[in-house]
Amino acid sequence: MNELKTGLLQMHCTANRADNMCRLAEGITDLAKRGAQLVVLQELHNTLYFCQTENVDLFDLAEPIPGPSTQFYGDLARQLGIVIVTSLFERRAAGLYHNTAVVIERDGTIAGKYRKMHIPDDPAYYEKFYFTPGDLGFHPIDTSVGRLGVLVCWDQWYPEAARLMAMQGAQMLIYPTAIGYESSDTPDEQQRQREAWTVVQRGHAVANGLPVVTVNRVGLEPDPSHQTNGIQFWGSSFVAGPQGELFYQASDNEEESVVVNIDLEHSEHVRRWWPFLRDRRIDQYTDITRRWIDK
């Protein structure tokens, strides 16, 4: 058995960046003291989810990579001897910004980064205004705790992204996330959406024979424009095994900090029972790269 003690930090965010980062540091330190070797943070964890409106002044929140945040979390990783998956608003150049996950190695260096590839543009999620689609491809990041298939939020709905990570030897799929309820939807519809979100990712776990780690933020964040009632982030961070089994699922309305043991060797056994990769008809999939198949 090759167990990886994985820490999940599900938090609310405020408009005070320094406060958010202080609480993140406290949470990361606590998880490390409880044995976590890998800590996964939620999407855009340093700030409020600013994409509820389109405001050019909010580009001031972005920063270079490497930069202040990678230094901050790098110092933590080095002091605690852990690997940290962060999620940052990257300023690549004037007018060129990305939603970027950065993996920090336990010596404090940057192990690698992933720029979010699928960018939503929906009411209260105006991400296309802020983020240029990623151009680094779907490639796992090698670390001292394993080969991590790091993706970001909206990527989690796309089986192609998960498959490409798996096909390059990712040992787990990781999704920093910021998703919540639209207040005008009925309670039943809200629950259908949350359950669909969980089910599709558990499906990626099954289809690829890999564990999945998803960390979502929690709490109500008001809409600065007052055009909506804001987003109630639904938390529900979870860890699923390679057969889709839920090892842990957090509350949908409370902050949580938890360490989950993940057996990375179990995927080998599951793939022997369910050899989906063996039976793929790669000679018949050329049309998958088309937008739509017209008759």
In the chain, count H helices and then E strands: 6, 15
Among 5, 51, 113, 153, the active-site one is: 153
CB atoms within 10 A of CB 29: 15
Q: What is the pLDDT of residue 181?
A: 94
Among 13, 116, 127, 256, the active-site one is: 116
- Is 116 noted as a catalytic residue in this protein? yes
Half-sphere exposure of 99 (CA within 13 A, CB side): 32
CATH number of the domain at 3-277, please? 3.60.110.10
Walk across the sheet containing 180-182 and list its strands.
180-182, 231-234, 218-221
DSSP state of 125: B
Domain boundaries, the chain: 3-277
Residue 18 C-alpha from the chain's centroid:
22
Q: What is the mean pLDDT of each run of 10 residues along the chain (295 residues)?
A: 93 98 98 98 98 97 98 98 98 98 98 98 95 98 98 98 98 98 90 98 98 98 92 98 98 97 97 97 95 91
Query: Distance (Å, rounded) from C-alpha 274 to C-alpha 110?
Result: 35
Asked if residue 225 lies in contact with residue 52, where contact means CB atoms within 8 angstroms, the answer is yes
Q: What is the pLDDT of residue 1?
A: 64
Q: What is the pLDDT of residue 184?
A: 83
The β-bridge partners of 173 are 149, 212
Q: What is the pLDDT of residue 7?
A: 98
- Is 13 noted as a catalytic residue in this protein? no
Query: pTM of this prediction?
Result: 0.97
Among 5, 13, 43, 90, the active-site one is: 43
